[in-house]
Amino acid sequence: MLHDFTYYNPTKIYFGKDSMQNLSAELANYGKNILLLYGKNSIKKIGLYDEVVKTLNACGKNITELSGIKPNPAYSQVLEGARLVRENKIDLILAVGGGSVIDCAKAISVSAYAKGDPWQRYWIDFEEVDNEIVPVGTILTMTGTASEMNGGSVITNEEVTIKTGRVYGPEVYPKFAILNPEFTYTVPQKQMVSGVFDVMSHLMEQYFSGDDDNTTDYVIEAVMKSIINSSRKAAKNPEDYEARSNIMWCATLGLNTITGLSKTQDWEVHNIEHQLGAYTDCPHGLGLAVISMPYYRYIYKDGIDKFVRFAENVWNVNTDGKTKDEIALEGIASLENFAKELGIPLTLRELGATEDMLPKIAETSYEGGGYKYMTHEDILNVLKECF
């Protein structure tokens, strides 16, 4: 059934080959001081850095740069960005990159003028933001997180070995997002497939819940089928514009809150992966892939009808003469085969985890879940299966 909900998303999307033409008009809405945030050198290799700087200069902006944002952005980088915001009286944070850069930008935006310790207040105690928020704009170069159109910000505090996410309200969402699928052409295959499974995981976290016969579930199934189809094409031809554009929009839809409307949700796979990432610094999507299949085999009996539906509607599993258990497990096996097809590793060993890490990861992961409440002991059992 559909539960009551209120939906609002303030992010303006510019999508397509000519989307960068809208940057100048957006910049006119903000003051002169811009913090340009990006990762390493990928945006320079594809010429995007020069294009962005040229536009900023033409608009008369003062540029402060913070580069080297990690794939799992560190809290130390958030604090450095917050310092630059204050010292340079930044009017807009322009994040150029993937979800990690955008997550870091949002973290900086809420932390720069925070009273007290931002980490404790906003990522541990989940307090409401009561200070000035610096607006964020984005230019996307890697798909997966949908951070360009949501309030999520996942940060790793390396001092305490905790990776955790916080979802802020619409006031923290990026004000605008420029999405040109061509900017993703040069993303290495490993990062592309990591992003693809991240999208699948977002959709599955929202899909596997107690709400059946819900319009949103049909939307999720359609987006899953699209990302599966398009990722196979992009794996064969990285410059297939149609495939890349579909992947990019599937990623945005996957977590811009539209596919979670009116649904209870799970998110335990993400909770476990965050701590896996804190200990191994593995690519987020690859960590999700390693955890997903053992996790779903662990819980499927508690939500068997939805897992049967997943097998039938997403993977076209033939159900003739099969029990519900057989159908559900075949659906999970189809997901696993898809990951193998994309060349995604399926064990924790391959991601750099060691056996002695498993109890630590389990103990620091949040208990919870959707169909089945996962205790620390349950989480450890799943990790052992992943290893």
Amino acid at the residue 55: T
**147 part of a folded domain:** yes
Q: Is 124 helix (H, G, I), strand (E, B) or coil?
A: helix
Q: Work out the average pLDDT over 361-368.
A: 94
**230 part of a folded domain:** yes
pLDDT digits (tens, 9 = 90+) for 133-179: 999 999 999 999 999 999 999 999 999 999 999 999 999 999 999 99
The pLDDT of residue 263 is 85
The pLDDT of residue 213 is 76
Q: Work out the average pLDDT over 254-277.
A: 93
Strands (E), the chain: 12-15, 33-38, 62-66, 92-97, 136-140, 152-157, 162-167, 176-179
Q: Which of 15, 92, 4 is nearest to 246 (CA)?
A: 15
Q: Work out the average pLDDT over 92-111.
A: 97
Please check whether residues 85 and 146 belong to one and the same domain: yes
**What is d(CA 232, CA 229) in angstroms, rounded to the nearest whole number?**
6
Nearest 5 degrees, angle CA 79-CA 80-CA 85?
95
Please check whether residues 75 and 169 belong to one and the same domain: yes
Q: Is 131 helix (H, G, I), strand (E, B) or coil?
A: coil
The pLDDT of residue 261 is 87
Q: Which residue has the higher pLDDT, 66 or 42?
A: 66
Last residue of a domain, one of 159, 183, 207: 183
Last residue of a domain, one of 183, 215, 238: 183
Does residue 41 have a pLDDT over 90?
no
Assign 211 a pLDDT band (cuts: 50, 70, 90).
low
Please check whether residues 163 and 100 belong to one and the same domain: yes
C-alpha distances in Å from residue 295, one per residue of 93, 351, 358:
38, 17, 15
- Structural domain count of the chain: 2
Tracing tokens 């085969």 back to the chain, one arrives at 337
pLDDT digits (tens, 9 = 90+) for 371-387: 999 999 999 999 999 99
pTM: 0.94
Assign 1 a pLDDT band (cuts: 50, 70, 90).
low
Assign 196 a pLDDT band (cuts: 50, 70, 90).
very high
Last residue of a domain, one of 153, 183, 213: 183
Q: Work out the average pLDDT over 311-318.
A: 98
**What is d(CA 164, CA 185) in angstroms, rounded to the nearest whole number?**
30
Q: Are 180 and 241 within 8 A, CB to CB?
A: no
